[in-house]
Amino acid sequence: MVFMLAQLRDPLITIDLEWKPEYQAGQNNRVALLQLSSATVCVLLHTSSMGFQLPQAVRDLLTDPRVRILGFGWESADEKKMQSTFQMGQSSFGNFLDLQVVAKQLSFPGGMGLLRLTKLVLGHDLVKAKAVSKSNWSLRFLSLHQIKYAAMDVFACGQVFRALRLWHSSPSACPGCHALVGALLPPPILQCPSTKKSFGSNMKLYQENAAKLKVPSLYIHCEACGRYVPNNNVKNEGKQ
């Protein structure tokens, strides 16, 4: 871990978890692999070969307030797995941030996965084969495909964040929608003008409702940057 910290140009460590697939209700397989990545180094900890225990150096790293720990969609299954396996989680981390939340604040769709976000931000395809993602991560010897998948997944997350941070420091206009890429945007208010029904953050349902009522949507999806941005062609927002 000392070596890993020495490689950092910014105090950012990305974290990801893998575990043996659960095909039956009630199964709770422990974290078999914990991935950490800086800007230049990926570390894969095969915890299933370590008695499902984290070395103290790793715990110290995760709880260090000087280090920002970055996850992706952490609130789904990762947090529960981290808690049940290692008895620590987001509240234990010294400084935690979720890339999916950051992307949403920049107006990318809330449910966008890492694969799509990597393509939009970095311009590269992130290969995430289901055969590998659903493989047995608790095997004593991981395959080269598993190792590559695990390393690229956690590495890409950090690189996307760094790119978004650069965009945010100097926002520029998207060539498609002309909205500033990198600027923090207020969350869209998705409400039906007739029934006042709220759609929360579900843009798909909101737009389906607008189409059903045959009124223009206040937001459009830009194919160039992948975000939902205000529809400047709608002048009277009270209509939808």
pLDDT digits (tens, 9 = 90+) for 176-201: 988 888 888 777 778 887 888 898 87
How far is the C-alpha of 139 from the C-alpha of 88, rounded, in Å?
Answer: 24
Is residue 133 a contact partner of residue 113, using CB atoms and an 8 Å limit? no
Q: Give the end-to-end CA distance of the chain in Å, rounded to a whole number.
A: 53
Helix (H) or strand (E) run with residue 58 in it: helix 56-63
Express each pLDDT in 51-69 by its tens digit: 999 999 999 999 999 999 9
pLDDT band for 240, please (50, 70, 90 cuts): very low
Provide the percentage of residues in the chain whose pLDDT is more than 70: 93
In the 8-state DSSP scheme, what is residue 107?
T
Q: What is the CATH number of domain 2-170?
A: 3.30.420.10
- Confidence grade of residue 43 (pLDDT, cut at 50, 70, 90): very high
Residue 118: pLDDT over 50: yes
Q: Are 72 and 96 in contact (CB under 8 A)?
A: no
Q: Locate the domains of the chain by residue range.
A: 2-170, 180-239
Residue 238 reports pLDDT greater than 70: no
CB proximity list for 185: less than 8 A, separation 6 or greater: 105, 106, 107, 179, 229
- Closest by alpha carbon to 157, among 110, 121, 109, 130? 121
What mean pLDDT is predicted for residues 210-236?
Answer: 82
Long-range contacts of 110-119, Cβ-Cβ distance < 8 Å, separation of 24 or more: 110/201, 112/226, 113/73, 114/72, 114/73, 114/153, 114/156, 114/157, 114/160, 116/226, 117/160, 117/226, 118/156, 118/159, 118/160
Confidence band (pLDDT; 50, 70, 90) for 129? Answer: confident
Instruction: Starting at the earlier edge strand, list the strands of the sheet with 12-19.
Output: 42-45, 31-37, 12-19, 68-71, 96-98
